[in-house]
Structure 1
Amino acid sequence: MDVVLQQFLNALTLGGIYSLVALGLTLVYGILQVPNFAHGAFYMVGAFIAIKLMGGWGANYWVAMVGAAIVVAVVAAISERLVFHPLRKASGLHPMIAAIGLLLFLESGAQALWGAEFQRMATPYSGILEFGGLALPAQRLLIIVAAFTLMLALHLFLTRTVTGSTIIAMAQNREGAALVGIDPDRVAIMTFAISGMLAAVAATLYAPINLVYPAMGNLVITKAFVIIILGGMGSVPGAILGGLIIGFAESFGAFYISTDYKDIIAFALLVVILSLRPQGLFVQGAR
């Protein structure tokens, strides 16, 4: 039972991180109807900014997290204006190619600025809590609490505020939202900024127990695409549920099968679920 509970904790940790990244990706997809392949690079930039704020500027962990979120939000908003906005009337292939180009640009820039070597972020939460014979790493508990708190905050923002409602309206019907006076350009910038913040926070939470390097976002964003396809493209609840499903599948699969197949499990699960429910777990469309 202790082993099962330990894997349950690991699954919640992975699921929380995957869900945060997938939420930002699905919000942007809801606005543009184009998969933003550069979202993984936003995740990577957030981790590097947090490391440099802590190592170079002596900022504490939480200040570094906020600083990384702000910087990546600005980078994401600028990317929307310079890369995606000029292509808003182009076919879906053009924004996809632009997103891949932006991904390569940010990865190359990170390597030029910070080097290609692996780095690790220090954390003040390195202790182990003992509860009933179960070892609970403080950083993993922090990830779980912070990730699900942020998800709840995002849900309340989208459902209980006028600004959040404009994002949902744009995702559901862009033309109809514009007809009732919603500014699509402002909503697009705001959505990209929120997605960048979510990616940066997820990276800062996960960096102390993972390595930081320029290509670190590639596998994460690939799994995020699996998650939003599983949950239904553009579905916010689907992104959260899909992240948890992948987190649990990876954690228990790595333990009971083999860690060598951990990263394959997500894609195998994608094939199985889409064979049974091609539209995903939730009806398409952000809610």
Structure 2
Amino acid sequence: MFLQQALNGLTLGSIYGLVALGLTLVYGILHVPNFAHGALYMVGAYVSYFIMVEHGLNYWVAMAGAGVVVAVLSVLCERLVFHPLRHAPPIHDKIAAIGILLFLEAVVQMHWGADFRRMPTPYTEIFHFGSLTLPAQRLLIIVGAFSLMGALHLYLKKTMTGSTIIAMAQNREGAFLVGIDANRVAMMTFAIAGFLAAVGATLFAPINLVYPAMGHLVIMKAFVIIILGGMGSIPGAIVGGLIIGFAEALGGYYLSGTYKDLIAFVLLVAILSIKPTGLFTKGVR
């Protein structure tokens, strides 16, 4: 049972890490706490549901479509909302992000209603390794999430565009001085964050429910993860996601499933009381 719960924790941690990665990229580069990221995650799930269930297209087509739609939506949020507020007091970004969150939820609820929906998975196989049970969808979540994390790492380290993103994160003034286009970097960062959120939602939707408020708890835990891992740290987002995922799965089984959603916040208080800067104080900041 320990290994089974550890597998569940790896599944949860993969999704949390994927969502937190996009959030920490935006915060590390633009210093914008994008509370609307949870709504983008929710929109990604609904777009996938719309493409796959209502139009009968392939699961992978739905995932790609959701990724593109949410990436474009994320860029529009940056251009139309966050960019005009770049010289405003920091509180304005937070209020604007909450406004986007409420607006997107209202639009989705107006079109699809507030009912809970379930998106089917095309992968219903169940693998057995001794006494360990591994559903194919959970295996897909783990492999897909870590593949995306690896692809993002290679993109940031091996491409010129990725290098400009890292440069902006490390030193904004220095990046301006060497001629890096801040607008282009901001748009690219929001697009990547939106794409990761949509893919994470599509991976997780078949084992979860799809509903307008589904992004609330995910975004709260994503913020816990990036604070826990170190604000703006990409390794911290991945490790923090896994820590929260394992803690929830194991704590929910061995302690109480009723309080499993509180475990992330208890862990946050415990770790920050020992290391106030988070686990990773260096990296992409």
TM-score by length of 2: 0.99
Secondary structure at the aligned position of 1:228 is classed as helix
What's 1:229 paired with?
Answer: 227
What's 2:164 paired with?
Answer: 166
Secondary structure at the aligned position of 1:86 is classed as coil
Aligned-residue offset at 1:284? 5.0
Which whole-Å CA distance do the structure 1 matches of 2:180 and 2:199 have between them? 28
Aligned-residue offset at 1:275? 0.2
Which whole-Å CA distance do the structure 2 matches of 1:267 and 1:162 have between them? 38
Of 110, 113, 117 in structure 1, the residue corresponding to residue 111 of structure 2 is 113
What's 2:123 paired with?
Answer: 125
- Deviation string 1:164-222 (CA, Å, 9 cap, x unpaired) is 11111111111210110100000000100000000000000000000110110000000
Letter of the 1:50 counterpart:
S
Letter of the 2:149 counterpart:
M
Of 2, 24, 47 in structure 2, the residue corresponding to residue 4 of structure 1 is 2
Which whole-Å CA distance do the structure 2 matches of 1:44 and 1:109 have between them? 12
Structure 2 unaligned regions, length at least 5 = none
The number of residue pairs the alignment matches comes to: 285
Secondary structure at the aligned position of 1:129 is classed as strand
Of 136, 139, 151 in structure 2, the residue corresponding to residue 138 of structure 1 is 136
Letter of the 1:199 counterpart:
A
Which whole-Å CA distance do the structure 2 matches of 1:34 and 1:124 have between them? 37
Which whole-Å CA distance do the structure 2 matches of 1:135 and 1:13 have between them? 13
After superposition, residues 30-179 of structure 1 pair within 5 angstroms as 30-179=28-177
| Percent of aligned pairs with the same amino acid | 71
Secondary structure at the aligned position of 2:134 is classed as strand
What's 2:241 paired with?
Answer: 243
Any conservation in 1 of the 2:235–2:283 contact (CA below 8 Å)? Answer: no
Of 257, 260, 265 in structure 2, the residue corresponding to residue 259 of structure 1 is 257
Which whole-Å CA distance do the structure 2 matches of 1:162 and 1:136 have between them? 39
CA RMSD of aligned residues (A): 0.9
- 173-182 or 184-193, which deviates more: 173-182
Which whole-Å CA distance do the structure 1 matches of 2:282 and 2:93 have between them? 21
Which whole-Å CA distance do the structure 1 matches of 2:169 and 2:98 have between them? 22
Letter of the 2:275 counterpart:
R
Which whole-Å CA distance do the structure 2 matches of 1:41 and 1:216 have between them? 8
Which whole-Å CA distance do the structure 1 matches of 2:121 and 2:51 have between them? 13
- Deviation string 1:121-177 (CA, Å, 9 cap, x unpaired) is 011111211111211111001100000011011011111111111111111111210
Aligned-residue offset at 1:113? 1.2
What's 1:286 paired with?
Answer: 284
Of 194, 202, 205 in structure 2, the residue corresponding to residue 196 of structure 1 is 194
Structure 1 unaligned regions, length at least 5 = none
Q: State the 4+ residue runs in structure 1 displaced beyond 6 angstroms.
A: none
What's 1:213 paired with?
Answer: 211
- Deviation string 1:3-30 (CA, Å, 9 cap, x unpaired) is 1111111011000000000000000001
Which whole-Å CA distance do the structure 2 matches of 1:55 and 1:144 have between them? 23
What's 1:276 paired with?
Answer: 274
